[in-house]
Amino acid sequence: MNNTPESATTVTIPTPLRRIGIYCASNDGARPAYVEAARRVGTLLATRGLAVVYGGGRTGLMGAVADAAMAAGGEVIGVMPHGLVQREVAHTGLTALHIVDSMHERKAMMAEMADAFMVLPGGIGTLEEFFETWTWAQLGVHRKPIGLLDVEGFWSPLQQLFDRIEQEGFLRGTPRRWLQVSEDPVQLLQALSTFDAPVVRRWLRLGET
């Protein structure tokens, strides 16, 4: 039995994008540029006819993306555990809000609903969502691209860490091919829409994560 991933090849026909999963902070951060970028992303996706799938929050960058998309006539779908809804952090003006039992169920539903993912600045929660989604791609759970919106170089130190991890032999194969990086939301969306997914062995299905 061969336990190594299949060699990387590319799919010639990208999957059409309909919904973009957004991971980002529930606070504004230290720079106005972060909120400005979140609003730009929300407006961009709405005007392109793409739905936003996100964590359902009303504050911080999460709220900024949702409010901008809704203001531009877009569809915004939130997914939030009932414990956070009860603590009144849920956005009440969305197209739809799915209430789930756990944080893991939230991520699984978002991963299933979204056709690609865009990661804006955020803290450990955003990183946790990003890393799990990226890991799922490498395990063959999904074949969807992940974009890092590098607002004012926010993700540059993380990319340097990836370089070090790769140099030390702990990041091999196709993982970095799933990542698209740009400081411009328009360019990042274009990269996501034209992404050709590497072919990897399916080690797990979504229900097994």
Q: Are 195 and 181 in contact (CB under 8 A)?
A: no
Domain 19-196: state its class.
alpha beta
> How is residue 15 annotated by DSSP?
P
Model confidence over 69-98: pLDDT tens digits? 999 999 999 999 998 887 778 999 999 999
Model confidence over 23-74: pLDDT tens digits? 999 999 999 999 999 999 999 999 999 999 999 999 999 999 999 999 999 9
Structure-model confidence comparison of residues 6 and 96, the more confident one: 96
52-80 CB burial, b ≥16 within 10 A, e <16: bbbbbbbebbbbbbbbbbbeeebbbbbbb
Amino acid sitting at position 143: R
Amino acid sitting at position 128: E
Nearest to 79 by CA among 65, 67, 94: 94
pTM: 0.87
Q: What are phi and psi of 148, to 5 degrees?
A: -100, 115
Q: Where are the alpha helices (DSSP H) in the chain?
A: 32-47, 60-71, 82-86, 103-113, 124-138, 156-167, 185-193
Can you name the residues that pair with 66 across neighbouring β-strands?
none
> How is residue 196 annotated by DSSP?
-
What is the band of 6 on the pLDDT scale with cuts at 50, 70, 90?
Answer: very low
Q: Supply the pLDDT for residue 12.
A: 34
Of the chain, the end-to-end C-alpha distance in Å amounts to: 22
Structure-model confidence comparison of residues 34 and 175, the more confident one: 34
Q: Supply the pLDDT for residue 208.
A: 64
Q: Round to whole Å and give the CA distance between 73 and 70.
A: 5
Q: Where are the domains of the chain?
A: 19-196
User: Does the pLDDT at position 104 exceed 50?
Assistant: yes
User: Does the pLDDT at position 155 exceed 80?
Assistant: yes
The lowest-confidence range among 2-16, 19-33, 120-134 is 2-16
